[in-house]
Structure 1
């Protein structure tokens, strides 16, 4: 088992274990080296026993809501993370689907998933939503050229995102 320092990733790993969904944690400490340079790793390979697809999952931790203005549905990522996850999707082939899991640490009165999908971990509450990489690529727009970040508008993200458990069921 990979030692998880990031509480969002640790919570998601605990969530997978609680659902008894087989997975492999990826050690992110060392980036893979390619001819062109290095490439970021994803966080988990999730292989449900009930489906024919396995999932390449990159966990994105966010507070729900976040910031001083209490913003909901923050879903930004970086251009590098999109390129890297796309690369891994190609390398693993058609039996694997890449996705982002947004691990929301719920700190307000609203939740990103129905109450029955919330998960308690280390006395904190989390909601896990997932968006397939192909959908994220189709709908994301640049939000900061300086930081090379992209995001999906909140209304579209809410339409695309599913409770993470829904990904792993047939």
Structure 2
């Protein structure tokens, strides 16, 4: 069993385990402080990945529980985020692109599958300490273009199931090469 760092949740541990297993170089970003970018403080993203193809990928990881029986059609998959997460990730992407044009920003949704017999619908399943996860990613630009307000009180945004189905992809394609995600 992998050692869990202080403050690390099971979604982060599983994601890092998957990255290590796949041989992906990554850096977990310090979440304890906000950073100053340009004129103000900005929430930091979660991971910086260095895919084999080069460049870098900024990742905002979101852990969600899937209680359904099947992932077919990617229905009932929670994909909400804070509006601040999308705005901050866009600012970071802009900042990184000033250094290298080979920068991509994505949300990665880590779905912990709670039902043992749940059908993963052919999606890659990662097992971590007896828990099963499916990791789906969506490009920040696609998320922002399709997002709708979910809760004004909590300042959250979400995608319709149709938009999420259309734009999400297996997270493994990030390190295999984002240029191929639409194939």
TM-score range (shorter-chain normalised) is: 0.7 to 0.9
Q: Deviations over 1:43-69 (max 9, x none)?
A: 1111112x1332000100000138xxx
Please tell me whether residue 53 in structure 1 is matched to residue 55 in structure 2.
yes
The CA distance in 1 between the partners of 2:35 and 2:59, in whole Å, is 16
Q: Is contact 1:21–1:47 with CA below 8 Å preserved after alignment?
A: yes
Q: Is contact 1:65–1:73 with CA below 8 Å preserved after alignment?
A: no
Match of 1:17 among 4, 12, 20: 20
Deviation at 1:114, TM superposition (A): 2.2
The CA distance in 1 between the partners of 2:12 and 2:88, in whole Å, is 18
Report the count of equivalent residues: 162
Q: Given the two structures, how large is their TM-score scaled by the length of structure 1? A: 0.88
Gaps of 5+ in 2: 69-74, 178-183
Deviation at 1:37, TM superposition (A): 4.2
1:36 to 1:53, Cα distance in 2 relative to 1, 3 A? closer
Corresponding residue number in structure 2 for 1:90: 94
Q: Is contact 1:77–1:151 with CA below 8 Å preserved after alignment?
A: yes
Q: CA RMSD in A?
A: 1.9
The CA distance in 1 between the partners of 2:17 and 2:80, in whole Å, is 24
Q: Deviations over 1:97-142 (max 9, x none)?
A: 000000000113133x625x10001210000000000000011111
The CA distance in 2 between the partners of 1:79 and 1:120, in whole Å, is 30
Gaps of 5+ in 1: none
Corresponding residue number in structure 1 for 2:108: 101
